[in-house]
Copies of this chain bind each other. A is one copy, B any other.
Amino acid sequence: MASPEFLSLEQSLEENLPPADLSNVRRILFGRETRKLDLPPSALVAASQRDFELLAFAFEASKEQLRPARPVRVGLVQNRIRLPPDAPVSEQVGALHGRIVEILEVAAQCGVNIVCFQEAWTMPFAFCTREKLPWTEFAESAEDGPTTRLCQKLAKTHNMVVVSPILERDEAHGDVLWNTAVVISNSGAVLGKTRKNHIPRVGDFNEATYYMESTLGHPVFQTSFGRIAVNICYGRHHPLNWLMYSLNGAEIIFNPSATIGELSEALWPIEARNAAIANHCFTCAINRVGVEHFPREFTSGDGKPAHCDFGYFYGSSYVSAPDGRRTPGLSRTRDGLLVAQLDLNLCRQMGDLWNFKMTGRYAMYAEELAKASQPDYRPHVIKE
Asked if residues A197 and B361 are in contact (CB atoms below 8 Å), the reply is yes
Residues of B within 8 A of A360 (CB): 198, 238, 240
Question: Contact string, A361-384, partner B, CB cutoff 8 A, digits 1/0?
Answer: 111011111101100000111111
Cβ of A210 < 8 Å from any Cβ of B? Answer: no
CA distance A267 to B218 in the complex (A): 26
Residues of B within 8 A of A363 (CB): 369-370, 373
Residues of B within 8 A of A368 (CB): 217-218, 244, 247
Given known pairs A13-B25, A187-B384, A359-B200, the reply for A247 and B277 (CB within 8 Å) is no
Residues of B within 8 A of A218 (CB): 368, 380
Asked if residues A219 and B381 are in contact (CB atoms below 8 Å), the reply is yes
CA distance A304 to B325 in the complex (A): 23
Residue of B nearest to A12 (CB): B21
CA distance A287 to B9 in the complex (A): 27
Chain B nearest CB: distance from A70 CB in Å? 17
Total chain A interface residues with beta-carbon distance under 8 A: 87
Residue from the list B234, B266, B277 in contact with A271, Cβ < 8 A: B277
Residue from the list B199, B367, B373 in contact with A359, Cβ < 8 A: B199
Asked if residues A221 and B382 are in contact (CB atoms below 8 Å), the reply is yes
CA distance A1 to B369 in the complex (A): 37
Asked if residues B384 and A249 are in contact (CB atoms below 8 Å), the reply is no
Residues of B within 8 A of A27 (CB): 1-2, 265-266
Residue from the list B30, B239, B379 in contact with A266, Cβ < 8 A: B30
Chain B nearest CB: distance from A369 CB in Å? 4
Given known pairs A9-B28, A13-B25, A239-B243, the reply for A382 and B270 (CB within 8 Å) is no
Residues of B within 8 A of A366 (CB): 366-367, 369-370, 372-373
Q: Which residues of A contact B (CB under 8 A)?
A: 1-3, 6, 9, 12-13, 16-18, 21, 24-25, 27-32, 183, 185, 187, 189, 191-192, 197-203, 213, 217-222, 227, 234, 237-240, 243-244, 247-249, 264-267, 269-271, 273-274, 277-278, 324-325, 353-356, 358-363, 365-370, 372-373, 379-384
